[in-house]
Amino acid sequence: MKVRVLVRLKPGILDVQGTSVKRALAGLGFDDVTDLRIGKVIEVDVNAATTAGARQRADEMCRGAIATSTTSSPKPCTSPSSTSGIAIAI
Amino acid sequence: MPGSDCDFHYVISEALHQPVKYLWHRDRDLSGFDCVILPGGFSYGDYLRAGAVAGRSPVVDALPDFVARGGYVLGSCNGFQILCEARLLPGALMRNECLQYRCQSTQLRVENVETPFTRGMRAGQVLTMPISHGEGKYYAEPDTLAALRRNRQVVFRYATAEGQLTKAANPNGSLENIAGIINEDGTVLGLMPHPERAAERAMGGTDGLLIFQSLLGTLVEDGSFLKR
């Protein structure tokens, strides 16, 4: 079962990469961007019998290695309708 | 670690004339060592996060037990990142606020001389050591920062040559100009600068040697040398 994990910086933490990209977009004429933050998507194929089981394993992976609680915080996300997987926003 | 590339072996062996041995990331047996050094570099290509994969390797897994049995740990640059990922030190190292990879000399003000790694220094002394990193901004949550201050765990801060903590002296945006910290027991030190690159006059300075000499003094005093 495919699990898509979104890892983002916690609100309030300065995202220097996002700031840099926002500035670059402004230089390209996209001056209507008020904020931009960059995260990363990690797709994990988990051998699980149920969605809940896959989500639990993904949660454990996130806490164990994929995300660090110092700079990111877990936040559940709804399943995308176009795939059979589930997504967890971290 | 795969990807580690900084040379502490030379300094320990040739500048300090002490026995030193390389360990591999899969080694778990740390018996017979007084100190484990996690060097700089790009372990595992900085994949996932700098230090993230190395921080979960067998040799790092063995460190808490090693420290509990009286061992010391020093992590420089990527080594500091690894220690934070392994939760042996609090906080995290993030992308430099300027977004530049900074390879330059820095001045560090010594904040705490009552540690095994700094007992040979003077309070407020300004040391010169190079840095070389793209992800060296020290970050910790407010309550963690408060605890670091309360427990005197901040050991080095980026400063001017006169010892002033200014924004200009801070090469990476680290909170409170923090360059190096210790754990609560004072047995684990992490710092972003490279003391091994300031250990001989030919390198441009010897301030980094003070860290190793301080630790040697501690080991002699606590009888570690007698146990060999």
Cα A80 from Cα B121, distance rounded (Å): 58
Residue linked to tokens 């990476």:
B172
Query: Got the DSSP string for A23-86?
Result: HHHHHTT-TT-------EEEEEE---SSHHHHHHHHHHHIIIIIS-TTT---EE-PPPTTSSSE
Residue with tokens 């495919």: A2
In sequence order, the β-bridge partners of residue B1 are none
- Continuous segment of H or E residues that includes residue B195: none
Q: Label residue A5 by pLDDT band (50, 70, 90).
A: confident
A17 and chain B: CB distance < 8 Å anywhere?
Answer: yes
Give the tokens for residue A3.
């699990």
Q: What is the ipTM of this complex?
A: 0.71
- B9 counts as catalytic: no
Q: Which of A5, A15, A16 should one mutate to test binding to chain B, selecting the residue with the greatest count of B CBs within 10 A?
A: A16
Cα–Cα dist B108/B210, whole Å: 13
Q: What is the per-residue pLDDT across B151-171, written as a single tens digit (0 to 9) for each? A: 999 999 999 999 999 999 999
Chain A interface includes B52 (CB < 8 A): yes
Residues in CB range of B29: below 8 A, 6 or more apart? B62
Nearest CB to A71 within list B56, B94, B96: B94
Please report, to the nearest 10 degrees, the dihedral formed by the alpha carbons of residues A54, A56, A59, A63 taken in order.
-130
* pLDDT per residue as tens digits for the range B208-228: 999 999 999 999 887 655 554
